[in-house]
A and B are shown apart, each in its own frame.
Chain A
Amino acid sequence: MGRRKAKTMGQTIAEKLLSRHNLAGTDACAGDLVEARIDGAMCHYHADEPMIEMAAQAGFKDGLPRVWDPDRVFVLMDHHQPTLSQALADVNARVRKEVERLGIKCFHDSEPGIAHQMMADYGLMRPGELVVGNDSHCISYGALNVGGTGMTRADMFYALLFGELWFQVPESIKITLTGHKPTYPIAKDIVLHLAGLYGEDVAASMSIEYTGPLVPDLSIDSRMCLAAHGVELGAKFAMFPADAVTHDFLRTRTDRAFESVAADPDATYAREITVDIDEMPFVVAAPHQFGNIVPIDQVAGTAIQQAQIGSCANGRFEDIEIAARVLRGRKVARGVRFLISPASQSVYLQCLRAGLIEQLIEAGAQVITPGCGICQPRVGFLSDGEVCITATTRNFKGRKGSPNAEIYLGGPLTVAAAALAGEIVNPKEVLRGL
């Protein structure tokens, strides 16, 4: 357990959040282990693991006897709709039965979409809350000033039963963003830049606090991308302040009261980093690691067979809008499969209403049903020797099928520019023409 600091010392967002939820009612300092009350528990398509498997292992022969609060458990059987296989259909059916028996009200199993985006779309979380789930990208909830983080299946089982979990209070790293308001969605480019400069464990087990003069200019879409990628930088939380942009986003989505959480000015940080986006070069993550960052000019000219925009990191309106803007009145390069998958039905509808889908289809892109398909080897497999550039979360060997395929990660502008050119290009040129 960490040493209790003098009462006068300021708290980081993580310390304040966990103090507020600490069952012991005492202040939580970095290094402490606390038992905390949680405000929400999200289970995605592996919901059978905490709900059914772990219950049986614990000794509940008839399944979970209850969930602690049926209003605060969200079962979003997202990721893969329509159902991809017999096995998944059977899992869904078992979970559906349990959800009914336990009286869980928030259940979606007939709507395609990525759970994390649906959590935001449906206003299932609010600033200052502590929300856990059985997926590492639950960290994306920090975009809305929500302490979101991924848990193991055993932890989720415990959370479902009691609404409590233990936490080790993380140290915090402050990342200050400065520069002019960007003219394209820049969040992914910022994260890749950070991974390149500081390594992909720069925030290992820490809480990232994004702050600085650029933050008010960042949309919720951009914040969700930055927060989701907290996990690719090793973090436990990735928090944004709750500001006018946050309130604007939530106004139509929730009417529950909330109390947002901000750091004290004299809070202690393990590390502080500043990124000036005006000075930021275009980079990509080369195969096969997120941290394998190279300047774009080093790989420019690499021919591609597939380009993708989607996932819990880049499947939002602004990511798809930039693709439409780049392609408007033009065509995807011959022989390139350009897959675009909105993160949820709401995002899809938003794009449709803005006319983006029509422009993209006219340009030769394929629009894929919302979900995780293009982020995994589920939709759009790659063959040996093929090259894909993608604005999704990961580029591990074999993530898109063949282990002998090459996956580059780039921002949505970089991906769209490559889809147009048929090869990786520095998007500076394209940007000038927009």
Chain B
Amino acid sequence: MGFDLNSAIRGRVWKFGDSIETDAINPYYRYPTMAELKLHTMEAYRPEFPQQVRPGDVLVAGRNFGCGSSRPGLVLREVGIAAIVVESVSRLFLRNNIARALPIFMAPGVTDIVDDGDSLQIDYQSATVRNPATGRHVALRKFPPLIEQIFAAGGLPEFAFQRYQREQGPVPPSR
């Protein structure tokens, strides 16, 4: 499913610290199914998170989000997180999220403008994230066109399929 980066997002903030590792986000060694993962994601840092997270909430975190092994954060979308906004993100977590079209934004300074439970507004078009209650805002880093296209296509494999067909003509149906 494609994701429209330009759709405005506004949601309640769950705020986390620096270097949140993929073991906390996606502890699949212990909880191998998505149903189980949904009951345990992020509990290492906030035991109440799995129960209290609501569809449309926004996850804000500090530096190096998603460090550790290369694992996608699909479970965060499954529990309803509308977007992740971070100071910085580990490289393979970013690549995994783009490859799966999970909205993630880098906005240095974001942890200074919102507190846990505040509302946060993400406007990709104008490249800002804003705390509507205080008016404080910081810039988010726009992605280059290629990454925007990957989001629109619904992920990297889907994007590759579209590009291939555009360049080589339609892929014939299965043999």
**Residue positions of A touching B, CB distance < 8 A:** 1, 33-35, 54-55, 57-62, 65, 136, 150-152, 154-155, 157-158, 161-162, 166, 168, 201, 204-205, 234, 236
Contacts and interface: CB of A to CB of B under 8 A. Distances in A.
15 contacts: A33-B143, A33-B147, A55-B157, A60-B164, A150-B70, A152-B99, A154-B99, A155-B95, A157-B157, A157-B160, A168-B91, A201-B19, A201-B67, A205-B91, A236-B91
Contacts of A166: 144, 146-147
A59 B158 contact: yes
Nearest to A134: B70
Given A33-B143, A152-B96, A152-B99, A204 B90 contact: yes
A200 B151 CA distance: 32
A234 B50 CA distance: 29
Counting chain A CB atoms within 10 Å of each CB, which of B67, B92, B155, B175 scores highest?
Answer: B92
B54 interface: no
Contacts, number: 84
A35 B159 CA distance: 15
Interface of B: 19, 64, 67, 70, 72, 88, 90-92, 94-96, 99-100, 141-144, 146-147, 155-161, 163-164, 168, 171, 173-175
A204 B146 CA distance: 24
Contacts of A35: 144, 146
B160 A150 contact: no
Contacts of A150: 70, 92
Contacts of B147: 33, 166
Which of B72, B95, B155 has most A Cβ within 10 Å?
B95
B107 to A, nearest CB: 14
B141 A205 contact: no
A155 B157 CA distance: 8
Contacts of A152: 70, 72, 92, 95-96, 99
Contacts of A154: 95-96, 99-100, 155-157
A159 B160 CA distance: 10
A61 B158 CA distance: 13
A162 B99 contact: no
A364 B77 CA distance: 54
Given A57-B158, A62-B175, A158-B160, 5 more contacts: A152-B96, A154-B96, A168-B91, A201-B19, A205-B88
B173 A61 contact: yes
B144 A65 contact: no
B157 A54 contact: yes
Nearest to A166: B146
A136 B94 CA distance: 15
Nearest to B29: A398
Contacts of A33: 143-144, 146-147
B99 A155 contact: yes
A348 B142 CA distance: 50
B164 A65 contact: yes
Contacts of A236: 91
Contacts of B100: 154
A58 B95 contact: no
B158 A58 contact: yes
A204 B67 CA distance: 9
A151 B93 CA distance: 10
A62 B164 CA distance: 14
A433 B5 CA distance: 66
A234 B96 CA distance: 17
A234 B67 contact: yes
B97 to A, nearest CB: 10
A61 B173 CA distance: 7
Contact of A157 (B70, B90, B142, B156): B156
B153 to A, nearest CB: 10
A41 to B, nearest CB: 14
A205 B141 CA distance: 17
A61 B156 CA distance: 16
A161 to B, nearest CB: 5
A54 B168 CA distance: 19
A62 B155 CA distance: 20
B70 A58 contact: no
B90 A58 contact: no
A221 B43 CA distance: 42
Contacts of A162: 160, 163
A55 B92 CA distance: 20
Given A60-B171, A166-B146, A161 B90 contact: no
A34 B88 CA distance: 18
A405 to B, nearest CB: 17
A151 B72 CA distance: 13
A317 to B, nearest CB: 30
A54 B140 CA distance: 31
A57 B159 CA distance: 11
Contact of A1 (B92, B141, B164, B175): B141
Nearest to A154: B99
Contacts of B72: 152
A58 B146 contact: no
Nearest to B167: A162
A361 B117 CA distance: 64
A136 B72 CA distance: 15
A404 B163 CA distance: 50
A60 B163 contact: no
Nearest to A136: B70
Contacts of B161: 58-60
Nearest to A164: B146
